[in-house]
Structure 1
């Protein structure tokens, strides 16, 4: 079967046949037959290859908890980037694979673009979806290798998404707040009908709909919920509270479909499909797929060495009980290192294995502690930034009222009685706003002192960049600038242990209002 699909007789597709709703940040990759497929970046604000981002997936209130119970998971990107923010990303297809795209890759002759071919490709088996990605990868490597993103000199490849990749993107990734991320669906300010094709006459009316007609999720991805449910890369497993069951079953479909009742549409929706029905591969009229583009984990010997170095450092840091300047500069040996030293030269092999097992358990425990602490620090940074916002608003409000009072009521005793009454009212407002400012300043100061009693500079510094990128991903005004301001105050306090409220108030008020 030809991989070039008679390109010579095909004309380039109009954008309406592969990207009906163009958006800034779209990544367009070529297909055979002069076609295209559009992807969106899913950004993770971590840069090192062994770093991953902890999230909670699933649903706390799921009726079928053995399918969807909330559980911890971890996500990481494939491709390193410095723009617009440092981190790593993977690519998720903006739309479900359409009939037009499927035919352009799988057929010997090129299809003629038409709107009826803009329906998601359904009624194919999981094996055919895998075959599609294989043929596409081979074609890209033979004809458009430079269109693939590169990590450490190695070109990426397309495949079905994993459950974590899919659900993280479906929920909105870091483009939504932590609270919005945990909701049953991504934010839908215009109502579900504007974002999801679900079952019923008020929506899909029991029919598959053209790709991209409705509004996208916060990452710019269309039809993540509804229309066709989507096949995942890995096999299905039952949920066992905080982990998955050991038996791997059929394949997974996610996202619900055009037959799903509105009340059942949710990001945690997942079901198992068998690979075969009777004597043939399983094909469902409600099931389609979309692709991700990712990279191998071990791209070079240099990258392997970098990962090995990072792995050897996992869980080896000591948890400093007192983050004073003296303890931060201490070079005391950690418990993990002391265990390693005890093992050196030890001839009793049984005891050596026991110590090695103990060291591994300790490292694992320390690593869990470090990850939980990172989450707590990011939360503290966000709270500090919001309190700096409060100081900015209260401080500016108080300054404006005070200036008005000083200018218009400087000689209140010489004013007419009605003006004296007005000045008296302004003075009460000034006093009220001053009290509000002092309360906000007290809360802000408490947050710095309390954080300084728990964390060290070395603990907080790497989390500042992560939190700032999270806020920038949400396009949350200029909260990143408030994070920087709060961190500058906390960092100075960690050095000299001085509470400088006047300076802190002044700095927060100077952050530009956006």
Structure 2
């Protein structure tokens, strides 16, 4: 009764607050249960979330222990043969961080794949792009906790009710643990699903295997792989982003501006890169097979240290998530093998370079052809005599073994030099075509400026008729300057056309396969659907029309070239 009396005797405002407090206390359990239920729903993770949350038609899916799967993407590397490769310049030229130049600066290397198209299972071949390519596979996602435990534990994890962290990247393992994961997974595949791995034709012993990627393999895939042209691979710091999007759409990280990640997200929580793989920027950093070496003067330093860590993590800033960023991790610390809470892995599938079957004969045949037919053009346009042919005649007539050895050493040196020259020719061909494409734009810009200036001159000439005194003198000075500018633009157009025609004629002398490869590479560079890339792609088509005309000995006058450039006739 005392409590009732106290309530009745409360002032009106006190009564209001007391009633509100009672309601809050009564409703609090319901509100808490509702919030907890919402959080539980948010934390719900399905088994698919832990291995393929974003399925795609071109996924290559391999089985795993405990009924799980791992998804891969086919990576194609263009090359003209087994002994050829694609030049690469991994790293990043980050002028804002010059104190890290010897860590990150781009260096020269090359890339190819261990598999030919014939080595791939028939279903995978449908994913291969046109042209001559060599292949490896890269995991679509970082290895998740559920996948890690399925391979590394003696018992299967609970796949029916996976925990909240099951779909997050597996981290906090050493480099040796990561290598052991790839060993165990390959062993399981060989025992339980041997047909899921690539095999070499005619070779009953060798087979594809899972391993950590090399730094170059990782970076090529992270930049977009075969979807990226040479200019993007060699010059840009990130893969091409669609208009209106930024890195935060593709990476879980801590940008200087905007929302900052407080922890790792589930695999595949952001958008994929152009190759269709997720989280190469941010979320968990990824370890690779290579030892870390400094980048000095365009090459890697001789001292091999720890291993390379790529891609940055949820703890990283803008500069640290660039594909070319290179960080060193120790293999060991004082307490044992090194590991980090934000470092995981993304495996690849590759194979050996020297399998059995018919591959040894193919390699030998390619080596015998390499550098043998490269010969300069004589001044009259006829092919000069091949110095290797001359050396072969001398070798056949060598009087003794010492002379034969010296001649053979000389022949090997010339052959190696020819191979280097042939590789250089491909890069020069790309540069030649790119120059021609940009010259078309330069000529158009000069012409546009000329037309604009001419219109202004005509307007000032009309004004001059009514101008008097100081205004007339000022107008005459402006007209004199404008007319000299008009002459300069006419000269610029003339010189640019001369230079453009010289590039067309140089391109017409390229071997057909070299020209085609350079054209295909530039077509990738300008494959975007924005106005700039569409325009540059049309420029490339026009340039090829002019080159093809010259190759067929058709007469293309300067006037016709200029008209086609300015009118954008691409038929």
Query: Are residues 1:320 and 2:376 paired?
Result: yes
Q: Distance in 2 between matches of 1:381 and 1:200?
A: 38
Per the TM alignment, residue 370 of structure 1 is displaced from its structure 2 partner at its CA by: 1.7
Residues 35 and 337 of structure 1: CA distance in aligned 2, closer, same or farther (over 3 Å): same
Per the TM alignment, residue 351 of structure 1 is displaced from its structure 2 partner at its CA by: 5.2
Count how many residue pairs are aligned between Structure 1 and Structure 2: 455
Residues 348 and 279 of structure 1: CA distance in aligned 2, closer, same or farther (over 3 Å): farther
Per the TM alignment, residue 389 of structure 1 is displaced from its structure 2 partner at its CA by: 10
Per the TM alignment, residue 376 of structure 1 is displaced from its structure 2 partner at its CA by: 2.1
Per the TM alignment, residue 510 of structure 1 is displaced from its structure 2 partner at its CA by: 7.5
Q: Distance in 2 between matches of 1:65 and 1:358?
A: 39
Residues 449 and 470 of structure 1: CA distance in aligned 2, closer, same or farther (over 3 Å): closer
Deviates more, 1:449-458 or 1:66-75: 449-458
1:461 counterpart residue number: 513
Residues 246 and 52 of structure 1: CA distance in aligned 2, closer, same or farther (over 3 Å): same
1:251 counterpart residue number: 307
Per the TM alignment, residue 14 of structure 1 is displaced from its structure 2 partner at its CA by: 4.7
Query: Are residues 1:71 and 2:92 paired?
Result: no
The one of 236, 239, 245 aligned to 1:190: 245
Query: Are residues 1:22 and 2:55 paired?
Result: yes
Residues 511 and 25 of structure 1: CA distance in aligned 2, closer, same or farther (over 3 Å): farther
Q: With structure 1 as the length reference, what TM-score do the two structures score?
A: 0.76
1:364 counterpart residue number: 416
Q: Distance in 1 between matches of 2:501 and 2:116?
A: 33
Per the TM alignment, residue 153 of structure 1 is displaced from its structure 2 partner at its CA by: 5.4
Contact 2:254 2:317 in 1 (8 A): yes
2:277 counterpart residue number: 221
2:555 counterpart residue number: 498
Residues 85 and 442 of structure 1: CA distance in aligned 2, closer, same or farther (over 3 Å): farther
| Structure 1 unpaired stretches of 5+ | 1-12, 393-435
Contact 1:464 1:487 in 2 (8 A): no
Contact 2:371 2:418 in 1 (8 A): yes
The one of 278, 282, 297 aligned to 2:338: 282
Q: Distance in 1 between matches of 2:136 and 2:359?
A: 18
Contact 1:46 1:466 in 2 (8 A): no
The one of 141, 164, 167 aligned to 1:118: 167
Query: Are residues 1:92 and 2:138 paired?
Result: yes
1:423 counterpart residue number: none
2:70 counterpart residue number: 37
1:282-304 per-residue CA deviation (whole Å, 9 max, x = no partner) reads 22212111011123212235222
Q: Distance in 2 between matches of 1:339 and 1:203?
A: 68
SS at match of 1:49: coil
Query: Are residues 1:270 and 2:343 paired?
Result: no
Query: Are residues 1:300 and 2:356 paired?
Result: yes
Q: Distance in 2 between matches of 1:344 and 1:142?
A: 54
Per the TM alignment, residue 100 of structure 1 is displaced from its structure 2 partner at its CA by: 0.7
Q: Distance in 2 between matches of 1:151 and 1:384?
A: 42
Q: Distance in 1 between matches of 2:358 and 2:195?
A: 23
Per the TM alignment, residue 161 of structure 1 is displaced from its structure 2 partner at its CA by: 0.3
SS at match of 2:290: strand
CA RMSD of aligned residues (A): 3.8
Q: Distance in 2 between matches of 1:143 and 1:481?
A: 51
Question: Equivalent residues in 2 for 1:230-241 (5 A)?
Answer: 230-241=286-297
SS at match of 2:66: coil
Query: Are residues 1:135 and 2:184 paired?
Result: yes
Per the TM alignment, residue 342 of structure 1 is displaced from its structure 2 partner at its CA by: 2.8
SS at match of 2:108: strand
Per the TM alignment, residue 473 of structure 1 is displaced from its structure 2 partner at its CA by: 8.6
Query: Are residues 1:450 and 2:496 paired?
Result: no
Per the TM alignment, residue 375 of structure 1 is displaced from its structure 2 partner at its CA by: 1.6
Q: Distance in 2 between matches of 1:389 and 1:23?
A: 39
Contact 2:252 2:265 in 1 (8 A): yes
Per the TM alignment, residue 166 of structure 1 is displaced from its structure 2 partner at its CA by: 0.8
Per the TM alignment, residue 187 of structure 1 is displaced from its structure 2 partner at its CA by: 3.0
Deviates more, 1:491-500 or 1:302-311: 491-500
SS at match of 1:272: strand
SS at match of 2:309: strand
Per the TM alignment, residue 151 of structure 1 is displaced from its structure 2 partner at its CA by: 4.5
Contact 2:430 2:522 in 1 (8 A): no
Q: Distance in 1 between matches of 2:422 and 2:497?
A: 25
1:171 counterpart residue number: 223
Contact 1:323 1:454 in 2 (8 A): no
SS at match of 1:37: strand
| Structure 2 unpaired stretches of 5+ | 1-45, 118-124, 445-488
Q: With structure 2 as the length reference, what TM-score do the two structures score?
A: 0.69
2:82 counterpart residue number: 49
Residues 447 and 151 of structure 1: CA distance in aligned 2, closer, same or farther (over 3 Å): farther
Larger Rg: 2
Contact 2:509 2:551 in 1 (8 A): yes
Contact 2:436 2:504 in 1 (8 A): no
Q: Distance in 1 between matches of 2:176 and 2:520?
A: 42
Per the TM alignment, residue 170 of structure 1 is displaced from its structure 2 partner at its CA by: 1.6
The one of 197, 201, 213 aligned to 1:152: 201
Residues 227 and 293 of structure 1: CA distance in aligned 2, closer, same or farther (over 3 Å): same
SS at match of 1:79: coil
Per the TM alignment, residue 98 of structure 1 is displaced from its structure 2 partner at its CA by: 0.8
Per the TM alignment, residue 374 of structure 1 is displaced from its structure 2 partner at its CA by: 0.8
Deviates more, 1:225-234 or 1:343-352: 343-352
Per the TM alignment, residue 313 of structure 1 is displaced from its structure 2 partner at its CA by: 2.8
Deviates more, 1:493-502 or 1:479-488: 479-488
Residues 200 and 500 of structure 1: CA distance in aligned 2, closer, same or farther (over 3 Å): closer
1:91-139 per-residue CA deviation (whole Å, 9 max, x = no partner) reads 1111111111111112222212434111111111111111111111111
Contact 2:285 2:343 in 1 (8 A): yes
